Structure 1
Amino acid sequence: MSSPSSTPPWNVRRLPRADGSVFLVTGGNAGIGYFVAEQLSATGATVVLGSRNPAKAEDATASIRAHVPGARVRAVRMDLADLSSLRTVADSLGVDRLDAVVHNAGVALDDPPRQETEDGHEIMFGTNHLGHFALTHWLTPLLSAAPAARVITTGSFAAKSERLDLEDLQSRKDYRPKRTYGRSKLAQMHFGLELDRRLRAAGSTVASVVVHPGGALDSLTPSRPPVHDRTAAARLSAAPAALLVQGKHAGAWPAVRAVLDPAVRGGQLWGPRAFGLRGEPHREPVWTHLTDTAVAARLWDASRELTGVDPGALLG
C-alpha cells in the first residue's frame, strides 16, 4: 500500500481501481449496502452481496450490472439472525481470500413488540451486532489470507447519544425500539474498535475500521428500480432536508472509502464531513464513549458467550 502522503485527494466519483480484490457487503441488496456494492463494483473488484432474500439479491445484482457495465457481482445467502447458518458462509463464497467485508446489514424497528432471532436474542442486537460478531469469526481465515484485508463496521449517528447497559444487552427489562436500535449500533462500533485492538496485539495484517453514514434518507436517494423507487413527489418534499442530510448513495461513501483508501488505518472512525450528517467522507475523532476499552472488553466477552464463537481466537 502506498503511503498516505503519496496518495491523491479522495474523489467519491473517481474511485481507485481494485481489480482482483474480493469484497463482501452484508445487506448489499438494499439501502446503503446496495450503493456500497454498486460503487465498489465500479472499481473492477469482485463484489459479493450477502442477503437473506434470494429474490431481492437477484434484483440488486441485475441493477448493479445495468449501472456498472462489466460488473463482477454475485450474491450468497446469509441470515445474520440465524447464527448457525453463518458457519457455511465462508465456504459458499468460493474464494481463497477476502480483501474486505462491509458489515452493513441491519434491522431497525420503530414500534413494539420486542422480537427475537432464531437463537432467542433481541432481534436488533442479535442481528446487527451478534450476527456480525459471529460472521467475523467464520471469515477470519479468508481475511487473514489477504495481504491487507479490512473489516468495515457500519455504525450509526443514532449511537452517539446512547450508552450500553451491560446488564441488559438484550433489552429484556426496558425495551424501547429506537433506543435498542441505537444501542445495537453502538455495540457494533465498540466491536469494530475492540477488534482492531486485538488484531494489532496479534500482529495481524487485517485492519478494522468503523464508519457511519450520517443522515441518509430514501427520499434523497437516486432511483434504482426495483431495488429503490423514488417518486417525484418524494423528491420535492425532501428538498429542504437536503440542506442537512443526504441520500443513501452518499451515505455509502464512508464505507467505500474505508475499503479502498490506502490512507485509512485500523481503529479509525469515518463519517460525513458536514456535522457528521452529510457531505464527503472524512476521518473524525472517535467519540468519547467509544474510547472506553473496559466496556468494549466486557461486551466482547458477553458476545462470545452469547454466540459461542470468538473472532479473536483465530488471530494468533
Structure 2
Amino acid sequence: MVSTSSTPPWDVQRLPRADGGVFLVTGGNAGIGYFVAEQLSATGATVALGSRNPAKAEGAMAAIRSRVPGARVRAVRWDLADLSSLRTAVESLEVDRLDAVVHNAGVALDDPPRRETGDGHELMFGTNHLGHFALTRWLLPLLSAAPAARIVTMGSFAAKSERLDLDDLQSRQDYRPQRAYGRSKLAQMYFGLELDRRLRAVDSTVASVVVHPGGALDSLTPSRPPVHVRTTGARLGGAPAALLVQGKHAGAWPAVRAVLDPAVRGGELWGPRVFGLRGKPRREVVWSRLADASVAARLWAASCDLTGIDIDLGAGGA
C-alpha cells in the first residue's frame, strides 16, 4: 500500500472535502460512472457528467441531488464516437481549469455483427480508446491549468486475459465482441500508463492513473431511480455472487480514490482489494502485460494516425 503510518487509512464512506474542485466523469449518467459522479459530488466539488443522452443525464443529476443535498452537478453533451465533436464539447465546459477527469464511458457489445463509428473505427475500440485519446488532447490545457490534476482511466478486469493485436486494432479479422471489448479496455489501460510516462518526461503537473472496478454487477448495485432500479428478485438472485464480486457503487471506489487521495501517484494501477474482484481500493502491481512500454508506444503512434491527433504534451496539450 502507498499509505504510511502518518497517513490515515482511506475510508470509502468518509471522503475528503474537495470544495472548489472541478471534476469531469465521462459516462457519468449510468453504471459505475454514475456512482463515481455521485461520490465525488459529496465532496463539495463541481462534477460535470459527460453524456451523449441529455434525458439520461438529467435523470442522473436528479438522482445525485436527491442523495447529495446541494450537489454541484451539471451535464455536458458529447459523443466519444464522434471525434470531430470533442473540441467543441470541451469548450462547452466553460471552465478555466479541470482538477480531474475520469475516463469511464464505454460501449460493450455482446453479439455480432461488427459495428463502426461514423469515423469508420470499430465501435468499441473507437469509442472506449480512441474517443478518450482524442478527448485527452482537448482537455490537457484545462488540466495543466490546475495545480495537480489527475487523469483517471477506467480499465477492466476483462482486459487482464487479453492481448493487443497491433496489426488488427480494429478487429477486422475474426471479430468476437467480448474479445474486442477486452482489447479496447486493454488499449485504454496501456494509454493511461504511457500517458503518465510522457507527462513525467516533460515535468508536467498532471498525473495519469489507471484503475479497474473488479467484478461489478447490477444485481448487487443499490437502486438509484431512475438511473438504476434493483428488483427484489435481482437482489436475492445476486446475493451468492457477493462472495466474489460487488455492486457498481463499490466498483467506483478505485476511481474515486485515484481522483482524491494525494498518496496516489501517476503510473499506478488501482483496483479492489480481494483478488482484484471486490473490496476496498488498493494499489496493485501493474500487470506484466501492461508493463511493456514498447507495445504502449506503438499503440500511441497508431492512435495518433487513426485519430489524426497528436497530443503535444510539451505545450500542455495546447
Task: Give the AA of the match of 1:94.
Answer: E
C-alpha change, 1:196 and 1:5, in structure 2 (3 Å) is farther
- Name stretches of at least 5 consecutive residues in structure 1 with no aligned partner: none
Match of residue 33 from structure 2: 33
1:121 maps to: 121
Q: Distance between the aligned counterparts of 1:145 and 1:65, measured in 2? A: 28
CA shift, 1:90, in A, is 2.1
Distance in 2 (CA, whole Å) between partners of 1:49 and 1:232 is 29
Q: CA deviation at 1:78?
A: 1.2
Q: Would you say the 8 A contact 1:4–1:262 is kept in 2?
A: no
Q: Distance in 1 between matches of 2:173 and 2:4?
A: 47
Whether 2:280 is the aligned partner of 1:315: answer no
Distance (Å, rounded) in 2 between the aligned partners of 1:249 and 1:112: 30
Q: Secondary structure at the match of 2:76?
A: strand
Deviations 1:93-151 (A, max 9, x none): 11100000000000000100000001000000000000000000000000000000000
Is 1:223–1:229's contact at 8 Å kept on the other side of the alignment? Answer: yes
Within a 5 Å distance, the mapping from 1:75-224 to structure 2 comes to 75-224=75-224
Letter in 2 for 1:218: D
CA distance in 1, matches of 2:7, 2:134: 34
> Does structure 2 retain, via aligned residues, the 8 Å contact 1:4–1:263?
no
* CA–CA distance in structure 1, aligned partners of residues 70 and 156 of structure 2: 32
Q: Distance in 1 between matches of 2:145 and 2:71?
A: 24
2:210 counterpart SS class = strand
Matched with 1:239 is 239
Alignment partner, residue 60 of structure 2: 60
State the Cα distance separating 1:4 from its structure 2 match. 6.0
Distance 2:22 2:6 in 1: 24
The letter of the residue matching 1:254 is P
Residues of 2 paired with 1:239 and 1:173: CA distance? 39
Instruction: Specify the code of the residue in structure 1 equivalent to 2:113.
Output: P
1:292 aligns with 2:292: yes
Q: For the residues of structure 1 that align with 2:181 and 2:63, how far apart are their CA atoms?
A: 29
Q: State how far apart, in whole Å, the 1-side matches of 2:96 and 2:120 are.
A: 33
**2:22 maps to amino acid:** V
Q: In the alignment, is the contact (CA less than 8 A) between 1:90 and 1:142 conserved in 2?
A: no
Q: 1:101 and 1:31, CA in 2 relative to 1: closer, same or farther beyond 3 A? A: same
Deviations 1:72-103 (A, max 9, x none): 00000010000011011221111100000000
| Alpha-carbon distance in structure 1 between the residues aligned to 2:182 and 2:299 | 15
Give, in angstroms, the shift of residue 308 of structure 1: 1.0
Contact 1:254 1:271 (8 Å CA) reproduced: yes
**Residue in 2 that maps onto 1:42:** 42
Unpaired runs of 5+ residues, structure 2, are: none
Q: Partners in 1 of 2:146 and 2:300 — Cα distance?
A: 25
TM-superposition CA deviations, 1:23-82 (whole Å, max 9, x none): 000000000000000000000000000000000000000100000001000000010000
Give the distance between the partners of 1:88 and 1:6, measured in 2 at CA. 44
Find out whether 1:229 has 2:224 as its counterpart.
Answer: no
Q: Quote how far apart the aligned CAs of 1:8 are.
A: 1.3
The Cα RMSD (Å) is 1.0
CA drift of 1:194 comes to: 0.1
Corresponding letter in the other structure for 1:219? S
- Contact 1:198-1:312 within 8 A present in 2 as well: no
* 1:151 counterpart SS class: strand
Pair 1:263-2:263 in alignment = yes
Aligned length: 314
2:277, 2:29 → 1: CA distance?
A: 23
1:23 & 1:312 partners in 2: Cα distance?
22
Question: What's 2:280 paired with?
Answer: 280
What is the rounded CA distance, in whole Å, between the counterparts of 1:127 and 1:286 in structure 2?
24
Distance in 2 (alpha carbons) for counterparts of 1:71 and 1:46 = 8
Question: How big is the shift at 1:9?
Answer: 0.8
Identity %: 83
Give the distance between the partners of 1:162 and 1:310, measured in 2 at CA: 27
Q: Hey, what's the Cα distance between the residues in 1 that align with 2:25 and 2:35?
A: 10
Give distance in 1, aligned partners of 2:120 and 2:4: 45
Any conservation in 2 of the 1:202–1:315 contact (CA below 8 Å)? Answer: no
